[in-house]
A and B are shown apart, each in its own frame.
Chain A
Amino acid sequence: MNVPALAVMIALFVLVTGLGFFSARWRSGDMDLLHEWGLAGGRFGTVVTWFLLGGDLYTAYTFIAVPALVFSAGAIGFFAVPYTIIVYPLVFLVMPRLWSVCRTHGYVTPADFVRGRYDSSTLALAVATSGILATMPYIALQLVGIQVVLGAVGIGGTGFMGDLPLIIAFVILAAYTYSSGLRAPAMIALVKDALIFIVVIAAVIMIPAKLGGYGHIFAAVPREKLILSPSQYGSYATLAFGSALALFLYPHSITGVLSSDSRKVIKRNAAFLPIYSFLLGLIALLGFMALAAGIKPDATYGAQYAVPALFNAMFPPWFAGVAFSAIAIGALVPAAIMSIATANLFTRNIYREYFRPDATLRQEARMAKAASLVVKFGALAFILLLENARQEAINFQLLGGVWILQTFPAIVFGLYTRWFHRWALLAGWAVGMVSGTMMAASQHFTAIFPLHIGGSLVPGYTAFYAFVANVIVTVVLTVVLNALGVASGADRTARADYLAES
């Protein structure tokens, strides 16, 4: 057991726990209202939103998985960089429209918007379920991130005692999320991001110094890992593009967007969030540093252990503790936001829609708080009880990416035009969900599907192919349904709502 590292971790964990409970008083509002609990009243300015979204999107799992992929598969893992470059122009254009229409109508979730726009609770249900299904394994993966770093300080292992630290961390997380709502992860994100910046900057200076410089590191990487082969170009581009289209459809991203206090905040963040992309690029390179340092895949955690093992080998024990804390706290922030976002979806678009249409605002908020607990403990049970849970969580998270992208036409096209027919969007969604799931399953849950077009083989990102199928079906059926004059429902939004400043 690494005692100095463990001591540092415990101290930092106590600090963020205090912050989590204290945050309820920060710009305080009535926690009995869903809008206050689940969106922090929509009062976050540029800086807080930057930390919140940074903490939300660049998760612990990202910090483990991206370098792990670079470590095991090489250059293809670097797609995370173009992915997080091209996502922001899209955010800049699209998300202010979503913010405006949601602010005008009091929508809390993307499914609320879809319901208002298309007059279809079924389409809204499709969007809400995709969001919930895609987010659950993502929460589970944050737990995997914590497990890996606990393993690295030597307090992981099997049996109840091995699981206990994870359980304690999660119970405390659940408690302050319950009481403080979105304010808790927003405040903790400040600590998390500060730690991550310190650790990464130290890592990219200290580790190359020990390994003889960047030239040495890249020289130690085998040629087939160092550079893409021409057959991988299509996969690389579609992985980046498809992931970028999907990122801001995730409920936790939208929750972060909707909690900001103006369109300008979102636009400024689209300009300044790339600072995290730079950080992510540096983190990706840690995978090569682990290769150069001669680290081997771990028996329990596989390639995912590459970065923790690198930190253990390169940093003094106490600083390795800081690094592991950064990763663990980096898991708590998104796990909290994801559970809040999932709870919002469940409460608004399932509970209220189908079970209690007459629910008061207070009942709604109470339901959401309870749902956030269920979601978190569901993820915890999944990780602790299921055989081979780590791999299952990774597989489901891959499917989650496929599923969430299928909500793109209903949400993003819907922000610009009402031309698409609601039943066509629903059919397109269903085709995308089914075809994407089948493609992923046929490849044993790797992200790339080898599509045969004519006589040639075009490997590409499964989610992207399913999305293309979705769009084709949506367009064709829209033409057909409009020609047949099938009722398309009332649109409760007006043109000006998409540009409203407040």
Chain B
Amino acid sequence: MNDGERSSARRRRGWRRAMPLLLIIPYVGTLWVSTYASVTPELWGIPFFYWYQFLWIGIGAAITIAVYLAEDRSGMSRGNGSER
């Protein structure tokens, strides 16, 4: 392995280690209430307040899945369990 490969591998590991930080995003999206407590824009007659939060259910799950997959893959590439 040459230096270039090694540093890019290190960068990838750094990225993967930072992935769990993404889990903070749903907290910001849902607990900052003043940003979404409004009726407009409506979607199919549903006020913004409601459809916005429904949207976050999907975003939250997508983030969790992304973090899970990143961990899973980094575990496999090192040939041991998914945790460390």
**A93:B84 contact, CB within 8 angstroms:** no
With A82-B30, A92-B68, A213-B45: A274-B61 Cβ-Cβ less than 8 Å: yes
A229-237, A293-301, A326-334, A374-382: which lies at the interface: A229-237
**A285:B60 contact, CB within 8 angstroms:** no
In the complex, which residue of chain B has the Cβ closest to the Cβ of A275? B61
**B83:A263 contact, CB within 8 angstroms:** yes
Partner of A278 from B23, B24, B49, B54 at Cβ < 8 Å: B54
**A271:B68 contact, CB within 8 angstroms:** yes
A477 to nearest B CB, angstroms? 28
**A352: chain B residues within 8 A (beta carbon):** none
Partner of A237 from B26, B31, B61, B84 at Cβ < 8 Å: B31
With A277-B57, A281-B57: A233-B34 Cβ-Cβ less than 8 Å: yes
B83 to nearest A CB, angstroms? 5
CA distance A277 to B26 in the complex (A): 14
**A82:B56 contact, CB within 8 angstroms:** yes
Residue A346 is within 8 A (CB to CB) of chain B in the complex: no
In the complex, which residue of chain A has the Cβ closest to the Cβ of B72? A264
Partner of B57 from A89, A274, A285 at Cβ < 8 Å: A274
Interface mask (B46-70 → A, CB under 8 Å = 1, otherwise 0):
1101100110111011011101100
**B64:A271 contact, CB within 8 angstroms:** yes
With A78-B50, A226-B39: A89-B83 Cβ-Cβ less than 8 Å: no
CA distance A163 to B7 in the complex (A): 71
**B71: chain A residues within 8 A (beta carbon):** 267
Residue A241 is within 8 A (CB to CB) of chain B in the complex: yes
**B45:A85 contact, CB within 8 angstroms:** no
Residue B18 is within 8 A (CB to CB) of chain A in the complex: no
CB proximity to A under 8 Å, residues B6-21: 20
CA distance A67 to B23 in the complex (A): 28
Residue A98 is within 8 A (CB to CB) of chain B in the complex: no
**B50:A270 contact, CB within 8 angstroms:** no
**B47:A226 contact, CB within 8 angstroms:** yes
Residue B1 is within 8 A (CB to CB) of chain A in the complex: no
**B57: chain A residues within 8 A (beta carbon):** 81, 85, 274, 277-278, 281
Residue A485 is within 8 A (CB to CB) of chain B in the complex: no
**B32: chain A residues within 8 A (beta carbon):** 237
**A263: chain B residues within 8 A (beta carbon):** 82-83
B23 to nearest A CB, angstroms? 4
Give the interface residue-count category, chain A: 35 or more
Partner of B81 from A93, A237, A501 at Cβ < 8 Å: A501
**B27: chain A residues within 8 A (beta carbon):** 86, 89, 241
Residue B76 is within 8 A (CB to CB) of chain A in the complex: no
Residue A216 is within 8 A (CB to CB) of chain B in the complex: yes
**A227:B53 contact, CB within 8 angstroms:** no
Partner of A240 from B31, B68, B83 at Cβ < 8 Å: B31
Partner of A499 from B45, B47, B49, B83 at Cβ < 8 Å: B83
CA distance A96 to B64 in the complex (A): 14
In the complex, which residue of chain B has the Cβ closest to the Cβ of A216? B45
Residue A215 is within 8 A (CB to CB) of chain B in the complex: yes
**A240:B37 contact, CB within 8 angstroms:** no
CA distance A499 to B82 in the complex (A): 10
CA distance A128 to B24 in the complex (A): 30
Residue A50 is within 8 A (CB to CB) of chain B in the complex: no
A383 to nearest B CB, angstroms? 33
- Which among A218, A271, A272, A278 has the highest number of chain B CB atoms within 10 Å? A271
B45 to nearest A CB, angstroms? 3
**A93: chain B residues within 8 A (beta carbon):** 20, 23
Partner of A214 from B24, B45, B64, B65 at Cβ < 8 Å: B45
B73 to nearest A CB, angstroms? 13
Partner of A264 from B20, B30, B42, B82 at Cβ < 8 Å: B82
- Which among B32, B34, B37, B60 has the highest number of chain A CB atoms within 10 Å? B60
CA distance A240 to B37 in the complex (A): 15
CA distance A228 to B34 in the complex (A): 9
B47 to nearest A CB, angstroms? 6
- In the A-B complex, the 10 residue pairs with the closest CB atoms: A215-B45, A89-B23, A82-B30, A233-B33, A274-B61, A271-B64, A85-B60, A237-B31, A228-B37, A271-B65
Q: 20 interchain pairs (CB within 8 A)? A: A78-B49, A81-B53, A81-B57, A85-B60, A88-B64, A89-B64, A96-B83, A215-B46, A218-B46, A226-B47, A226-B49, A227-B38, A240-B30, A240-B31, A263-B82, A272-B61, A277-B57, A278-B54, A499-B84, A501-B81
Q: Which residues of B contact A (CB under 8 A)?
A: 20, 23-24, 26-27, 30-34, 37-39, 42, 44-47, 49-50, 53-54, 56-58, 60-61, 63-65, 67-68, 71-72, 81-84
Given contact pairs A85-B56, A278-B57, a sample of 12 additional A-B residue pairs in the complex whose CB atoms are under 8 Å apart: A75-B37, A78-B50, A92-B23, A92-B64, A92-B68, A214-B44, A218-B47, A237-B31, A237-B33, A270-B64, A271-B64, A278-B54
